[in-house]
Structures are given as C-alpha cells and as structure tokens.
C-alpha cells in the first residue's frame, strides 16, 4: 500500500465546473471554479494557490487523483496533461476515478436513505449521453451496476433484474437536456427526484480514492494517465 497522507485531486471533466482538492492527513481543502469560459485556464493556477496556502511543495505530495471521464474531451486532456507532467516530475502515482461514479457517490450519501440507485446522465454531444447506474456497497461507496456507457437518450440501458423494486434518484445535466426521453426509458422505475444541477467534485474523487482504491493499489504511472473518452473513435 502506498503512503497517502498528502494527495492532490483534480476534476475538469464537465463544461460547467472544474475543481481542485488537497488532502493533508485528514484535512481536505477544496476549490471549485464555476467560470465556464475560463475554469480550465485557471486549473494550474488554482493548484499552485492551494499548495501555497498549505505551505506545501510538490515533493510533499504522495500521489494524485483525477476524474478520468467520461466527459468533455478538452477538459479531460487538460487534467491529464497537468497530472502527466506532475507525476513525471515527482515520480508519484496517479489514481483515476470515473466521473459518473464520483457524482453518484455524493448523490447517494446525501440522499434520503430509501434511495438505492442513482441514474447519472451527462450530455455527450451529438444527441448522446454518458450514462451510469450506481448503488452503494457495504462500505458506503458508490459501485456501478453496469459499465458506464455512451447511449442515445431514447435507449439508455438498465441493469437486468431488481431495478423496479428500488427507489431511484436521477442526477446530471443530461436529465435537463434529454428529460423526456430519459424519463420514458425509466418509466418502470420508482424515480423520486431529478437533480440536473449536479456536477462532479474533486473532493469526492479524493474520498473514493482513499477509501476504495488505495488499499487495492490501482495506481498508474505518468504515461498511463489517459482520458476514458468512451467515444472509441470519432465520426468524420
């Protein structure tokens, strides 16, 4: 297991926000950038400011965490470029968490305890959504019930079996853009609320990394820090 007292986490996987979180022992500092047009430009600056506030040097960090997608391509690559460079210079490893899982984690922990499933949808362009279905495991960590995928809003897949008996919550701005189609697909489910203004946060990624991944040791080195686009190839 890697010593992980000091960790830096980044999210810039959606258009609306970007965020940075820094964990020093059990204390977490968090900065969210909401200026849609400039948040990517300011990501590195924000990291520097946060580190300076905490009087930390890069050499003090034990590792890095990021939301690796799915999400906006340029945003994912900005985070990936920053982390590749930082991991390369510090020789410290990186852990990647799914953007949809990070969103589901917060939603499940904050929701009314009857909620057992979270349906995450974010717009993917070309009239498609990134789609994930999550529940909590015994350790209170979000777990996917099927692979995150790229889907048409009219035909998002649902896991086989027990979904009908479960209370569900819908999150992500995909639910605003494609509300009717998605609702229709989920017509058989017990959907109690739709929360479109729900975005990934770097501190939740940090939480998942510390709780779940550190013991599993799923760290990667700098060259392996690549976005999970979910768009396998690009149409012309």
Which residues from 206-225 bind other proteins, rule CB under 8 A? 222-223
- Shortest Å, Cβ 48 to other proteins: 5
The number of beta carbons lying within 10 Å of the beta carbon of residue 28 is 16
User: In terms of CB distance, is 32 or 191 closer to other proteins?
Assistant: 32
Query: Is 84 a residue that touches other proteins (CB under 8 A)?
Result: yes
d(CA 83, CA 67): 11
- Shortest Å, Cβ 203 to other proteins: 21
Query: Is 236 a residue that touches other proteins (CB under 8 A)?
Result: yes
Task: Tell me which of 86, 115, 163, 185 binds other proteins, using CB under 8 A.
Answer: 86
Query: Is 90 a residue that touches other proteins (CB under 8 A)?
Result: yes
Task: Tell me which of 29, 32, 60, 77 binds other proteins, using CB under 8 A.
Answer: 77
The number of beta carbons lying within 10 Å of the beta carbon of residue 194 is 18
Which residues from 32-51 bind other proteins, rule CB under 8 A? 40-45, 48
Task: Tell me which of 53, 74, 109, 218 binds other proteins, using CB under 8 A.
Answer: 74
d(CA 117, CA 136): 8
Which residues from 154-183 bind other proteins, rule CB under 8 A? none
According to DSSP, residue 46 is labeled H
Bridge-based pairing of strands 190-195 and 94-97 is: unpaired
**Angle ∠(150,171,123) on CA atoms, nearest 5:** 35
The number of beta carbons lying within 10 Å of the beta carbon of residue 189 is 18
User: In terms of CB distance, is 40 or 201 closer to other proteins?
Assistant: 40
Query: Is 234 a residue that touches other proteins (CB under 8 A)?
Result: yes
Report the run of H or E that residue 117 belongs to, with start and end. strand 115-125
- Interaxial angle between packed helices 43-53 and 73-90, expressed in degrees from 0 to 180 and rounded to the nearest 10: 40
Task: Tell me which of 5, 36, 53, 81 binds other proteins, using CB under 8 A.
Answer: 81
Query: Is 227 a residue that touches other proteins (CB under 8 A)?
Result: yes
d(CA 156, CA 151): 6
Q: How many residues does this entry show for the chain?
A: 236
- Shortest Å, Cβ 77 to other proteins: 5
The binding site for other proteins (CB under 8 A) comprises 40-45, 48, 58, 73-74, 77-78, 80-82, 84-86, 88-90, 222-223, 226-227, 229, 234, 236
């Amino acid at each position: 297991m890697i010593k992980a007292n000091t960790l830096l986490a980044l999210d810039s996987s959606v258009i609306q926000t970007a965020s940075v979180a820094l964990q020093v022992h059990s204390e977490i500092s968090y900065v969210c950038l909401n200026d849609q047009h400039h948040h990517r430009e300011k990501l590195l600056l924000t990291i520097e400011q946060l580190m300076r506030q905490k009087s930390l040097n890069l050499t003090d960090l034990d590792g890095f965490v990021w939301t690796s997608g799915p999400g906006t391509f340029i945003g994912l690559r900005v985070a990936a470029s920053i982390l590749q460079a930082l991991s390369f210079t510090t020789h410290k490893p990186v852990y990647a968490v799914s953007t949809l899982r990070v969103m589901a984690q917060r939603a499940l922990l904050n929701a009314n305890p009857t909620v057992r499933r979270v349906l995450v949808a974010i717009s993917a362009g070309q009239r498609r959504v990134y789609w994930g279905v999550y529940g909590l495991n015994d350790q209170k960590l979000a777990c996917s019930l099927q692979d995150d995928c790229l889907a048409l809003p009219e035909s998002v897949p649902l896991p086989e079996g027990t979904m009908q008996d479960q209370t569900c919550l819908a999150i992500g701005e995909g639910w605003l853009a494609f509300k009717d189609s998605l609702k229709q697909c989920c017509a058989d489910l017990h959907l109690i609320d739709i929360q479109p203004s729900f975005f990934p946060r770097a501190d939740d990624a940090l939480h998942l990394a510390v709780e779940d991944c550190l013991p599993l040791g799923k760290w990667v080195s700098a060259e392996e820090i690549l976005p999970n686009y979910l768009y396998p190839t690009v149409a012309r």
